[in-house]
Structure 1
Amino acid sequence: MAERFRHVAIVGKHQAPGIRPVLEEIAEFLCSHGLDVSLEADTAQATGMTDYDALSNDELGRRCDLAVVVGGDGTMLGFARDMARHGIPLLGINQGRLGFITDIPIERWREALAPVLAGDHEVESRAMLEGAVLRDGESIFSGLALNDVVVSRGGTAGMVELKVSVGEQFVANMRADGLIVASPTGSTAYALSAGGPIMHPSIAGWLLAPIAPHTLSNRPIVLPDSGEVRLEIVAGRDASVNFDMQSLTSLLHGDTITVRRSQHQVRFLHPKGWSYYATLRRKLRWYL
């Protein structure tokens, strides 16, 4: 049976110039299809739109059954992380530049959205990372990430040295500007610029990619997502860790970052006939 929606959340890249008219058009379009509409609170405040309820992310998660995200992948990342535990499907309309996960072009939102509302769409689930920072055996920070967990050197310091383990097995001590643990979704983000491969979203694995490694034989490696990745700070000053957009700075020697597969997934909706390979062709300009 086709999925039918009743209450739609709208989230916008609210700092983008001229976004209010687009959001208003989308909201009116949804209302014309008999749907209730609510705005994410920051979007409502920044745009001055007052005709719709302005709700927190937690309220949106409890009350809505679909979210339309207008912006770039950065806009989607933060909101998707908050919505994952609610299981709400997300539809991304791209007003940014690349847009691997906000994949509907802004000029085609109307023709793409109408069939989705009628239940004619593709459903895709994406794995997430979760992890923590341990200091003296105690967790001092935890987070979720759709793209990646990145450990980086300090802004003015030299390289960071990390002891890398997978499960109970030691992998290597790596000296580099940093190290990326990326999901398949994140393989087209920072990890791609660090020389990592593109991973299809259906692959049950992680990508471990060093950033500017001291030893050129430290190469990106694809790992199964069934085990825990542990990164211990061995050397380097003012190292930091970033879970997508959540950061912790000034890690100490001996701190350990643990990364594993989250029990939550992000659900994306795409227009019928959507293809991951077509997205790669378009975004990476793989033209004949």
Structure 2
Amino acid sequence: MKVFGIFYKPGLKSIVDEFVQKLKKKNAHIVFLTSNEKEIEDHTDLTLVIGGDGTVLKAAKYVSSPIIGFKGGRLGFLSSYTIDEFDKFLEHLESNSFYEDKRQFFEVLELNSLYLNDIVAIREPHQKMLDINVKFKDGSFYFHADGIIISTPTGSTAYSLSLGGPILLPNVKAYVLTPIAPQFLASRSVILPDDEKISVETSFPSHLIVDGHDFGKFNKFSVRKSEKSITILRPLDYDFSKSIKEKMGYGKNYFK
């Protein structure tokens, strides 16, 4: 008997109840997961996440079993199905027709905290711009800006992209370093190999936001690749470039 963990966004309980009834007809055992139930993670065969990308980010930190996301938010880059495709998922489950999309975590050393998307250091609106020094094995950079983003390939389609950063394919082993509102127009995103440890120091304490969670103010922090990764199960016809075209219109042929 398969054990399914379920992690869902508040407000989608009625959809979750519908999914649970269908799973029980397949003789599945259901465990409802929350961020406080870490001991359950090793006893699930598969974690179903119903919600947006934020819900998937939360769930991914607490589970070790593969994840399948059902889009209940806006973009849903981390989701494999829409909430209307649950029957399609059950068909794929029956035949085990999935593609494994592995995503790497990174960690903020001072916080002992993992992130899958990005870490943001940003000033208060009433404060002066930050002097930001970034050091790594092969050199250093200086930025005078409102803040800085250190993004993973997974997070390259989030805040970093809205500031003009590049889109990285999920299997690219790199960070994206993107200054926020830099004074000098030549200050643009930089791509660094993910085997680097990156140390950041700012001229005064700024908010340190890790995957959307504000940990307070710091003027020094460092990040590196974690040993933890998470596997997202996708339909066999999953195509990252198709996802980008459908959700953002990027690289889409409008002349057809």
Q: Which of 2, 7, 11 is matched with 2:3 structurally?
A: 7
Alignment-derived partner of residue 264 in structure 1:
228
Local SS of the residue matching 1:163? strand
Q: CA deviation at 1:217?
A: 1.0
Structure 1 contact 228–260 (Cα < 8 Å) conserved: yes
> How many residues are treated as equivalent by the alignment?
252
Structure 1 contact 98–283 (Cα < 8 Å) conserved: yes
Alignment-derived partner of residue 120 in structure 1:
97
Alignment-derived partner of residue 246 in structure 1:
213
TM-score (norm 1): 0.83
2:2 maps to a residue whose letter is R
2:212 maps to a residue whose letter is M
Q: CA deviation at 1:124?
A: 1.0
Distance in 1, matches of 2:154 and 2:140, equals 24
Local SS of the residue matching 1:26? helix
Structure 1 contact 181–207 (Cα < 8 Å) conserved: yes
Q: Which of 62, 67, 71 is matched with 1:90 structurally?
A: 67
Local SS of the residue matching 2:226? strand
Alignment-derived partner of residue 51 in structure 2:
71
Q: CA deviation at 1:175?
A: 1.1
Structure 1 contact 153–159 (Cα < 8 Å) conserved: yes
Report Cα offsets for 1:100-125 as digits up to 9, x if no partner.
10241122222123313531111110
CA 1:243–1:41: 2 relative to 1, 3 Å:
closer
| Runs of at least 5 residues in structure 1 that lack an aligned partner in the other structure | 43-55, 134-140
Runs (4 or more) in structure 1 with deviation over 3 Å come to none
Q: Percent identity?
A: 28
Q: CA RMSD in A?
A: 1.7
Local SS of the residue matching 2:108? strand
Structure 1 contact 103–279 (Cα < 8 Å) conserved: no
| Runs of at least 5 residues in structure 2 that lack an aligned partner in the other structure | none
1:104 maps to a residue whose letter is Y
